[in-house]
Chains A and B, each alone.
Chain A
Amino acid sequence: MTTIPQTTLTSAATGKRSGILRQASSILVLLFLVLFPLAATNFVTFQITMLLVYAIAILALNILTGGSGQFSLGQSAFFAIGAYTSAVLVEHGGVNYLLTLPIAAAVCFVIGFLFGLPALRLSGVYLALATFALATAMPQLLKLHYFDPWTGGVQGLVTSKPDAPFGLPISPDTWLYYLTLAFSLAIYAAAANLLSSRTGRAMMAIRDNEIAASAMGVDTALYKTLAFGISAAITGIAGALGAIAVQFVAPDGYTFQLSIALFLGMVVGGVGWLPGSIAGSAFIVFVPNIAESISKGLSGAVFGVLILLVIFVIPRGARQIAEFLQATIEGKRGGA
């Protein structure tokens, strides 16, 4: 009996309290991300850099799927295009690596937009199919001998690692880490703004009911293609950052398996929940190592089983866990 007034009380205070909780946890995560390289080895720093890179790519997929409700199994292709754009420009064009990032984004945006054009008329299944074919064909496209002089064919391209600018007393790995972190934060903020803007709302209207959205005057074709292009552009930046950090690009590094991993990261992190991108990314960076230690060669199966576990047990991924934790914490406070 006494629980009833209590719940009404807590629900009144929940808005404020969950806001504080959310802010506190984001500040904690941010502090950790900024400070940890001081205590970590170069290898760990490199790993966390890659974690951020994949988090950006998963965020891009989240904008597409969570935002506009379209599917892409072809993110590995845009990741590859971004990576190659950066590597080729640095190696053959002598372009500064920082400049290659916006160029990679622009190239991927154009290709994504053009590829998304047929998507204007397609339902989710067809788009999934077309992007599946794109991801499967991409390694072969990169191996084409016409492009050999630039791409290095099957062998790929090796690039050099940039040093920290202005004579900063930090190692190249740490510098790349902070660079990636800065890009991640900027892209995260931009994505959050995008989704709460007019464009984002139009996308979400399409996601929820395309026919209703078009009846309300949303240009569904434009926004669907735009979502595809933006997602491709962000994936391209991730690919370029990844190429700079790894210092190596090769066609077989960007197979359909990468698309699977990014897709899994999104599902694990919670579809449409931007903070989930980093949780999903941590998952796809660290779980394969664990899976490999359980059984070598079976990591694909462990991946698959984990996807099934997530969709059957916690269909909303990390978001569900976060909400559950939040509810428990608040529940305790409310009871005290």
Chain B
Amino acid sequence: MELLTNQILAGIATGSIYACMALSVVMIYQAIDHLNFAQGEMATFSAFVAWQLMQWGIPFWPCFVLTVIISFAAGVAIERGLFRPLAKASVLTNVAGFIALFAIVNSVTGMTWDYTIKEFPSPFGSSQFLRSELINSHQAGMIGVTSLLLAFLYCFLGFTKVGLAMRAAVSTPESAKLVGINVGWMVALGWGLASSIGAVAGMLIAPVVFLEPNMMGGILVYGFAGAVLGGLSSPAGAVLGGILVGVFENLIGTYVPGAGNELKLPIALALIILVLRFRPDGLFGRNVVERV
């Protein structure tokens, strides 16, 4: 029983990271109807920025805030510079654009900070949380920070004027324009937010998986699995999907013999295919009906 609780809690901890990735993927998907394949590489880049700032002697939390701000600016810049001109282009062109972004960010990260594995400090340490045997303090910290982030986003999107404008711009861009909302900038804002959320995920998972240019590759696949499970049209669903995927992954790893680390990605792949096959809209998504 203790093992089960332990594994579920650990699953929620890594699941909260998948939830962040799923959420950033869904935010961009909602804004421009495309999946950001470079989301993981952007998050890795952010984590490296934080690492670099810490190497220069800045303490963790100021680094954290600075990195979130830098990532926000970078996200907005990428939207303005690269994807805004592609807004009217075909799906293929957009996929090519994301692939290009993936290759560039990955390669620049590797060039700047090289491919050796780096240790990333955890602000929470790795002792037992509240002297319980169930969960360590970094895992508790991941859950805590993610919860704070989600609460902030919920309030921002639900109760502020800008948040309302963002939702309007996403759900009906034409009408939003007519009531004076600057839809273009709302999309850029969505990119900035997504990039910041990714940065938080990157900084929280880096102490667990160690910092290297390809660290987010697998995590992004899990983020996708979470987003698909929850439904690409539902931010709350994506978060829940991400957490479910985390728990699911841990339970399979513990209770199915032979399905340890080496089956991680194949499990995520199987999950994506199963959900797409039997419930393409995800658990919480709504069915989008196309007008002919």
Q: List residues of chain A with CB under 8 Å of any chain B CB.
A: 65, 71, 73, 115, 117-118, 121-122, 124-126, 128-130, 132-134, 136-137, 140-141, 143-146, 211, 256, 260, 263-264, 267, 271, 295, 297-305, 307-308, 310-312, 315
Given contacts A125-B34, A299-B107, contact A118 B99 (CB under 8 A): no
Q: Which of B86, B96, B108, B221 contacts A267 (CB 8 A)?
A: B96
Query: A143 contacts B262, CB within 8 Å?
Result: yes
* Contacting residues, chain B, for A140 (C-beta < 8 A): 262-266
Given contacts A129-B35, A264-B99, A308-B82, contact A137 B268 (CB under 8 A): yes
Query: B221 contacts A271, CB within 8 Å?
Result: no
Check: B57 CB closer than 8 A to any chain A CB: no
| Known interface pairs A118-B277, A312-B85; 19 further A-B residue pairs with C-beta atoms within 8 A, sorted by A's residue number | A71-B92, A115-B273, A118-B273, A125-B29, A126-B228, A128-B37, A136-B217, A140-B264, A141-B265, A260-B103, A263-B96, A271-B92, A301-B103, A305-B100, A307-B97, A308-B82, A311-B86, A311-B89, A315-B89
State how many angstroms separate the Cβ of B86 from the closest Cβ of chain A.
8
Query: A133 contacts B272, CB within 8 Å?
Result: yes
State how many angstroms separate the Cβ of B16 from the closest Cβ of chain A.
21
Given contacts A300-B110, A311-B89, contact A144 B99 (CB under 8 A): no
For the complex, give the distance between the alpha carbons of A58 and B268 in Å.
27
* Contacting residues, chain A, for B224 (C-beta < 8 A): 129, 132-133
* Contacting residues, chain A, for B272 (C-beta < 8 A): 129-130, 133
Most buried by B among A65, A136, A271, A295: A136
Mask: chain B, 89-116; 1 = CB below 8 Å from A; 0 = not:
1011101110111111011101100000
* Contacting residues, chain B, for A122 (C-beta < 8 A): 276, 280
Given contacts A71-B92, A211-B290, A311-B89, contact A304 B102 (CB under 8 A): yes
* Contacting residues, chain B, for A126 (C-beta < 8 A): 228, 276, 280
Query: A125 contacts B91, CB within 8 Å?
Result: yes
Check: B184 CB closer than 8 A to any chain A CB: no
Which residue of chain A lies nearest to B291 when distances are taken between CB atoms in the complex?
Answer: A211
5 inter-chain pairs at a CB distance below 8 angstroms, sorted by A residue, are A300-B104, A300-B110, A301-B108, A304-B107, A307-B103
Most buried by B among A115, A129, A307, A308: A129
For the complex, give the distance between the alpha carbons of A117 and B277 in Å.
8
Check: B269 CB closer than 8 A to any chain A CB: yes
Query: B95 contacts A298, CB within 8 Å?
Result: no
Check: B229 CB closer than 8 A to any chain A CB: no
Mask: chain B, 274-285; 1 = CB below 8 Å from A; 0 = not:
001100100000
Check: B135 CB closer than 8 A to any chain A CB: no
State how many angstroms separate the Cβ of B219 from the closest Cβ of chain A.
11
Within 8 A of A (CB), among B22-46: 29, 33-35, 37
For the complex, give the distance between the alpha carbons of A296 and B66 in Å.
31
State how many angstroms separate the Cβ of A223 from the closest Cβ of chain B.
19
Check: B225 CB closer than 8 A to any chain A CB: yes
Query: B276 contacts A130, CB within 8 Å?
Result: yes
Query: A311 contacts B96, CB within 8 Å?
Result: yes
State how many angstroms separate the Cβ of A121 from the closest Cβ of chain B.
6
For the complex, give the distance between the alpha carbons of A126 and B272 in Å.
10
Query: B100 contacts A307, CB within 8 Å?
Result: yes
Query: A132 contacts B103, CB within 8 Å?
Result: no
Check: B125 CB closer than 8 A to any chain A CB: no
Check: B292 CB closer than 8 A to any chain A CB: yes
Most buried by A among B258, B262, B269, B272: B269
Check: B218 CB closer than 8 A to any chain A CB: yes
Give 8 nearest A-B pairs by CB, closest first.
Answer: A300-B107, A304-B104, A304-B103, A307-B100, A137-B265, A301-B107, A304-B100, A137-B269
State how many angstroms separate the Cβ of B29 from the closest Cβ of chain A.
8
Query: A304 contacts B101, CB within 8 Å?
Result: yes
* Contacting residues, chain A, for B100 (C-beta < 8 A): 303-305, 307-308, 311
For the complex, give the distance between the alpha carbons of A287 and B17 in Å.
37
Q: Which of B97, B103, B273 contacts A311 (CB 8 A)?
A: B97
* Contacting residues, chain B, for A271 (C-beta < 8 A): 92
Query: B91 contacts A311, CB within 8 Å?
Result: no
* Contacting residues, chain B, for A310 (C-beta < 8 A): 96
Q: Which of B29, B82, B103, B265 contacts A300 (CB 8 A)?
A: B103
For the complex, give the distance between the alpha carbons of A81 and B18 in Å.
29
* Contacting residues, chain B, for A134 (C-beta < 8 A): 269
For the complex, give the distance between the alpha carbons of A172 and B152 in Å.
66
Which residue of chain A lies nearest to B267 when distances are taken between CB atoms in the complex?
Answer: A137
For the complex, give the distance between the alpha carbons of A289 and B106 in Å.
18
For the complex, give the distance between the alpha carbons of A8 and B263 in Å.
65
State how many angstroms separate the Cβ of A148 from the closest Cβ of chain B.
11
* Contacting residues, chain B, for A115 (C-beta < 8 A): 273
* Contacting residues, chain B, for A298 (C-beta < 8 A): 107-108, 111
Query: B37 contacts A132, CB within 8 Å?
Result: yes
